[in-house]
Amino acid sequence: MAQREQRLLITGSNGVVGRMLTARLAREGRRLRLLDLDHDPDFVPAGAEVLTGSVVDRELVARAVDGVDAVVHLAGIPGEDTWERILEVNVHGSWVLLDAARAAGVPKVLLASSNHAVGMAPTLDAGADLAVDAIAPPDSYYGWSKTAVESLGRLFGARTGLDVLAVRIGSCFPEPNGERALATWMSPDDVARLVEAFLVAAPAGYRCIWGVSDNTRRWWSLEEGRAMGYEPVDDAESYAGSVPALNSVSEWLGGRFPEHPLGEPMGL
């Protein structure tokens, strides 16, 4: 009997992380549905369905989740912004997505969280292994919104049939964008590996893991990720001689975010 096509919705597909994922996740037997405010055709693989609009549009999001087997929810403001915008897009938008997924009977959702959820932890020694459940303050309204998103995921994982994986992403860029990223980088291929592991077997209920490559200087534990089948391959150390003189290691895990004025848009 022919196997049914797997359907995967990616919200925020035209963002920095989304663009790294679309081509890497496209494959035979899988149909991608992409939702974003706009789309660059270079990042829309052949056969992908495209929906254009905001993640706070409930009617649009209900259509987006209809019939999918999984959601990778990346849509959101990627750095500090006004309280109102952070609340509307990152927090309310994530609720809209989770509630629509629940109502449509989607089995699993991956939520993009961020290291800035605990960005005011002191910077660690290279090769440290901070557990994902270590407690530290967020470093911005943006970082706070990610703690709220994790908490919403925990609620939906406990109270509905949804399996929710929150991924506390480090610095997910094509290449490490500075010295700090030698510890925090998540490579494009590793983020795709993580999504594939989630598609094969999402943990039941709710789980949070660090989204980071196997960097020699990494600060965060890979134990929780490995326990669900995420096996990173890349190491930012291979860029150690060539990273830009930007984004240096600071006193705080969150790099420059803890010093950025609260609520002042970063314009990312």
- Tell me the catalytic residues: 142
Per-residue exposure over 209-219, b if at least 16 CB sit within 10 Å of its own CB, e if not: bbbbbbbebbb
108-114/70-73 β-pairing: parallel
Out of 13, 22, 140, 184, point to the residue binding ligand 15L (CB under 6 A).
184
Contact window for ligand 15L (CB under 6 A) among 3-11, 110-118, 205-213, 228-236: 110-118
138 lines the binding site for ligand 15L (CB under 6 A) = no
Q: Please tell me the count of residues contacting ligand 15L according to CB under 6 A.
A: 9
114 lines the binding site for ligand 15L (CB under 6 A) = yes
Q: How far is the CB of 37 from ligand 15L (least distance, A)?
A: 16
Subset of 229-258 contacting ligand 15L (CB under 6 A): 255
Nearest to 134 by CA among 205, 221, 204: 221
78 lines the binding site for ligand 15L (CB under 6 A) = yes
Report the alpha-carbon distance of residue 89 to residue 149 in Å, rounded. 11
Report the alpha-carbon distance of residue 37 to residue 33 in Å, rounded. 14
Q: How far is the CB of 189 from ligand 15L (least distance, A)?
A: 18
- Find out whether 8 and 45 touch, Cβ atoms under 8 Å: no
> Which spans of this chain sit near ligand 15L (rule: CB under 6 A)?
78-79, 114-116, 171, 184, 255, 268
